[in-house]
Structure 1
Amino acid sequence: MLPSLGFQEIILLGVLALIVVGPKDLPLLLRKLGRWTAKLRGMAQEFRTGFDELARQAELDELKKEVDALRRTSSLNSVVQEVQRPLGTLESYAGISPPPPPAPPEAVEGVEANEPVADAPSGAAATPEPAPIEDMPTPADAKPVVRSVS
């Protein structure tokens, strides 16, 4: 903004002021110049302070509006209900339907599923079949995990 003044330029200005104004009035001139400079600095500082205050006030007003908007849109009860809502299964999150349960093994007429078959060789031990799949819980039958809010 202002041109930079070196030592030689300042000495030159001082000599010119001494010649133009004179040695008698030079201290009065420098005193007035100092007062004007102080007033200008004070006004600049006051402007900066006022501008900073306006910016701070605008920021606070914006923050108040955001807080009010948050208070209106979400209440604590809706947040608690969202947290306590049961979780879905992986299939529901992926958007696919769960696989159908497998069909029970077909039983031979007159023979139960857990009995050894009559055609088995007499020396071989009959292997027991695993428990039916209907007794095992499936993801659809499983109870959702409920989270508690502390």
Structure 2
Amino acid sequence: MGGLGPGIGGFEILVIGLVALLVVGPKDLPMLMRKVGQFVAKARGMANEFRASFDEMARQSELDDLRKEVEALRTGQGMHPLGADAEAAFKDIRKDLEAPLDTPALAAPVVVEAAPVATGVDEWPDTPLAAEPVVTAKPKPKAKTKAKTVASTSSSIKPAASKPAVKRAKKVEL
């Protein structure tokens, strides 16, 4: 919505301009438009000044209310007692704060976590396994069916790592 207000649009301003041109005449129209512009500027200035003074009064009123509240809090007026439950809670907190640090708090339960158990070599490479299964050589059974079952069960158990035997060659001096 352009124009001077919510009820006046572009078409209405054009009609007012044509009527003013016919009534005042083309000779005096620029002087009339300048006077109207000066009047509108004065009206806007007065409205802005009124709005600023009104905002200042509202701010001053809010500041006065805040000053009254601060003064009431300083003197202790307007404060209501909290009750026995709140007083007991504050006493418990003060007692906990004034307690020495070397005595453990009674309210905090002690939680003991179990150490993680390694189930395979790849899971926990940092920690040594407590007991590795040792596979001893057993004589082979004569029946082939039993040998397959023994071999299949013993394949899941890895033998303990042993160092390979290194043969050293003698150094020959010339």
Structure 2 length as normaliser, TM-score?
A: 0.43
- For the pair shown, which has the larger CA radius of gyration, 1 or 2? 2
Q: Which has the higher contact order (CA 8 A, sep 6+)?
A: 1
